[in-house]
C-alpha cells in the first residue's frame, strides 16, 4: 500500500450512557459488515456477562476477544494478517476501558492498514469525568456519534450520567472501574448503576422507591 495514498477507512466512536443500545449496535454493525462479505474481529472488555463476549440487554450475544491492559491491537492484527487472515474491520465494545495507548494502536490500524474500526463505549464515569480511553477516542476519532436511543432518568428527563448508587444516594468516591449491576427493581438498595439527568446527579438523588416516570414521557393516556 502506498504510504502517500489517502485512506478510506475510519475510526468511529459511538457513545452514550447505559441502556442506549451501544452493544446492540456493535452486534448489528458486525452483522451488517459480514452480510456485505467483509471479515472482521470483535473485541470487548469486562462485559456484563463476565465472559469474553459482546452482549446486549435485549438478549443478543457473540463471542469476542477480551481486551486487557496487556493486549496490543497493532501486534494482534499484524500477526493475523501475516498469517494469511483477511481483516476488513474491527468492532470494539466497552471501549471506555481501553488504555489511551490501545486507542492510538487502533488509529494506526486505520491509517496504515486501511481497516475500519468501530468503537462503542460510555463517555464518562460515575463521577461524570471522562474515561481515559473515551477521551483519547474523542481526540482521535474521525467521527464521534451520540447514540440516538436516549435513556431516561427516573424523573422522566433525558438521562446523561451513569451514576453509582448505594441506598438511594449517589456515590462520588471510589475506584473509577467497579463492576456492579444495573438497577433491576425500583428502590434497590444494593450498590448499582443508574442513568440520571444532570440535576439529580448534582443533587445526589438516585431513584426513590416510589418514583414513577412523568406522565409526559408515556405514549398513552
Instruction: Compute the Cα dihedral for 22, 27, 33, 38 and give only its sign.
Output: positive
Task: Give the residue extent of every domain in the chain.
Answer: 11-146, 150-207
Which residues are registered as beta bridge partners of 165? 170, 192
pLDDT, tens digit, for every residue of 73-87? 999 999 999 999 999
pLDDT tens-digit readout, 157-185: 999 899 999 888 888 877 676 655 555 44
Q: What is the pLDDT of residue 5?
A: 54
**Three-class SS state of 174:** coil
Out of 15-24, 166-175, 186-195, 199-208, least confident range: 186-195
Least confident of 56-60, 141-145, 196-200, 214-218: 214-218
Given a contact cutoff of 8 angstroms between Cβ atoms, the answer to whether 167 and 189 are in contact is: yes
Alpha helices in 41-141 (DSSP H): 73-82, 100-113, 132-140
Task: Scan for cell 486507542, then name that residue.
Answer: 103
User: What's the pLDDT score for residue 178?
Assistant: 64
pLDDT averaged over the chain? 85
Closest CA relative to residue 115, chosen from 80, 71, 160, 153: 80
Percent share of the chain, pLDDT over 90? 58
Torsion angle of the four alpha carbons 133, 136, 142, 143, in this order, in degrees rounded to the nearest 10: 60
Options 3.40.50.970, 3.40.50.300, 3.40.50.150, 3.10.440.10; CATH for 11-146 is 3.40.50.300
Q: Which three cell numbers stand for residue 178?
A: 467497579
Catalytically active residues, by annotation: 94
| Cβ atoms of residues 117 and 89 within 8 Å | yes
Amino acid at each position: 500500500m502506498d504510504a502517500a495514498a489517502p485512506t478510506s477507512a475510519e475510526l468511529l466512536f459511538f457513545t452514550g450512557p447505559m441502556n442506549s443500545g451501544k452493544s446492540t449496535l456493535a452486534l448489528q454493525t458486525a452483522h451488517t459488515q459480514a452480510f456485505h462479505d467483509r471479515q472482521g474481529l470483535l473485541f470487548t472488555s469486562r462485559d456484563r456477562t463476565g465472559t469474553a463476549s459482546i452482549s446486549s440487554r435485549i438478549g443478543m450475544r457473540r463471542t469476542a476477544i477480551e481486551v486487557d491492559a496487556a493486549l496490543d491491537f497493532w501486534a494482534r492484527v499484524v500477526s493475523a494478517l501475516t498469517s494469511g487472515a483477511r481483516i476488513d474491520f474491527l468492532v470494539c465494545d466497552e471501549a471506555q476501558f481501553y488504555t489511551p495507548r490501545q486507542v492510538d494502536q487502533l488509529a494506526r490500524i486505520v491509517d496504515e492498514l486501511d481497516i475500519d474500526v468501530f468503537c462503542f463505549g460510555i463517555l464518562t464515569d460515575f463521577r461524570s469525568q471522562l474515561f481515559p480511553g473515551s477521551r483519547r477516542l474523542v481526540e482521535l476519532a474521525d467521527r464521534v456519534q451520540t447514540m440516538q436511543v436516549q435513556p431516561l432518568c427516573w424523573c422522566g428527563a433525558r438521562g446523561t450520567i451513569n451514576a453509582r448508587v448505594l441506598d438511594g444516594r449517589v456515590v462520588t468516591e471510589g475506584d473509577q472501574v467497579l463492576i456492579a449491576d444495573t438497577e433491576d427493581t425500583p428502590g434497590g438498595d444494593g450498590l448499582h448503576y443508574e442513568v440520571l439527568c444532570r440535576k439529580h446527579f448534582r443533587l445526589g438523588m438516585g431513584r426513590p422507591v416510589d418514583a414513577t416516570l412523568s406522565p409526559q414521557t408515556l405514549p398513552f393516556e
